Amino acid sequence: MEVMERKHPLPWLNMIVSEPFYLSHFLLLFSYFVVRSSAAHVLSPDTLSRLLRWEIQATLAISVYAVVKMTKEESWEVFFADTLFYAKGLLVGVALIMDYHLAFCYIVVILVLFVSTQQPVYHGLGNAVQLTPLQLETLLTEGNKSKFWLVEFRALCSPTCIRSSRVFPELSVTYSNKNFSFGIVDLGLFPNAAEKFGISLGVGMGQLPTYILFDNAVEVARFPEVVDFEAKASHSSVTKRHLCRHFELDRRLVEYLHGYKISGHRSDAVCLCVLKMVRN
């Protein structure tokens, strides 16, 4: 089971206040309590009783859903996006019990938020390097100390890239070394470079994010894999565990540590300790 990394909540509290996406959704959900207190004076006892049952069921449902998502997801971005989506659906359903006009107003507000706000991307890079296509081509053709380059091609206008924006930097912190480097290319800024790397920027940018592993400037693996001649791709959810397995990052790290140990710089005990930390 993939467990989301626990971090101190204060940065997220600050983000809720400072980011329009989170602040607007917080105000939307909080507005229900204001509406509910006002409606208590005009609704019939039968309606209030039925509404209370729905509220209890909705609260239990969103609580169970949040707990399940928290234990399964690796990324806070995915957790918040899915939980807010589910909460908005429950909000409309409960509002419908009070008045269908109120439910319609909530639907309109939700559509406005969908159009006018965007979930913020994770801005950390970890040990990854932000590259332009020219810089990447120079690194691959002229060569450097790293034999392997794992490159993430993304566009920050893509919801899928936003949801997975934390995965790649955290991988780079764990697996980067002198032999294995991580790079990020923003195809939203350089769309003309997509074709050069065999990436389709079709409707919805369904192939993004795309991850390509280069071995001495030669592509040896990519995710998602191209499945036909029209460059359509099958895109599974992007998680650290999936990328580790697809690109065999654990094996490559073991080989690096083994070679480093043989060179006399690292003991067996230290290698074993590092591997246990990676697995955890």
Residues 253 and 274 in one domain: yes
Answer whether residue 121 is part of any domain: no
Residues 152 and 85 in one domain: no
Question: Which residues span the domain enclosing 164?
Answer: 129-235
Give the end of a domain, one of 116, 150, 171.
116
Distance CA 140, CA 253 (A): 21
**Distances in Å between the alpha carbon of 20 and those of 30, 49, 85, 150, 218?**
15, 35, 16, 33, 42
Residues 38 and 83 in one domain: yes
Stated as kind and residue range, the H or E segment containing 11 is helix 10-18
- Sequence-ordered list of residues with C-beta below 8 angstroms from that of 207, at least 6 positions apart, any chain: 199, 200, 201, 224, 231, 233, 235
Total residues found in the chain within this entry: 280
Distance CA 265, CA 280 (A): 24
- Sequence-ordered list of residues with C-beta below 8 angstroms from that of 181, at least 6 positions apart, any chain: 129, 144, 146, 148, 149, 150
pLDDT digits (tens, 9 = 90+) for 115-137: 999 888 888 888 899 999 999 98
pTM over 0.85: no
Residues 254 and 222 in one domain: no
pLDDT tens, N- to C-terminus, the chain (280 residues): 344 444 445 566 676 777 889 999 999 999 999 999 888 888 888 888 999 999 999 999 999 998 888 887 667 888 888 999 999 999 999 999 888 999 999 999 999 999 999 888 888 888 899 999 999 988 888 766 678 899 999 998 888 888 888 899 999 999 998 889 999 999 989 988 888 888 888 765 667 899 999 988 889 999 987 654 344 444 457 888 889 999 999 888 888 887 654 444 544 444 445 454 444 5
Contact 211, 199 (CB under 8 A): no
Answer whether residue 135 is part of any domain: yes
Write out the two tokens for 277: 């930390």
DSSP category for residue 204: G
Residues 270 and 187 in one domain: no
Is the four-CA dihedral 130, 232, 2, 69 of positive or negative sign? positive
Q: Are strands 180-186 and 129-131 parallel, antiparallel or unpaired?
A: parallel
Write out the two tokens for 152: 């993430």
Residue at 137: amino acid letter: E
Residues 157 and 229 in one domain: yes
Give the end of a domain, one of 75, 90, 116.
116
Residues 45 and 106 in one domain: yes
Crossing angle for the helix pair 76-98 and 100-116, to the nearest 10 degrees: 150
Residues 208 and 110 in one domain: no
Answer whether residue 160 is part of any domain: yes
Task: Tell whether omega for the bond before 169 is within 30 degrees of 0, i.e. cis.
Answer: no
Going along the chain, which residue ranges are E strands?
A: 129-131, 148-154, 180-186, 210-215, 218-223
Residues 107 and 141 in one domain: no
Residues 109 and 161 in one domain: no
Answer whether residue 184 is part of any domain: yes
Answer whether residue 16 is part of any domain: yes
- Select from 84, 79, 60 the least CA-distant residue to 69: 79
Largest alpha-carbon pair distance within the chain? Answer: 80
Neighbours of 123 (CB within 10 A): 8
Residues 155 and 190 in one domain: yes
Residues 226 and 192 in one domain: yes
Answer whether residue 1 is part of any domain: no
Number of domains composing the chain:
3
Residue at 198: amino acid letter: G
Answer whether residue 108 is part of any domain: yes
DSSP category for residue 160: H
The CATH number linked to 190 is 3.40.30.10
pLDDT digits (tens, 9 = 90+) for 217-271: 889 999 987 654 344 444 457 888 889 999 999 888 888 887 654 444 544 444 4
Answer whether residue 146 is part of any domain: yes
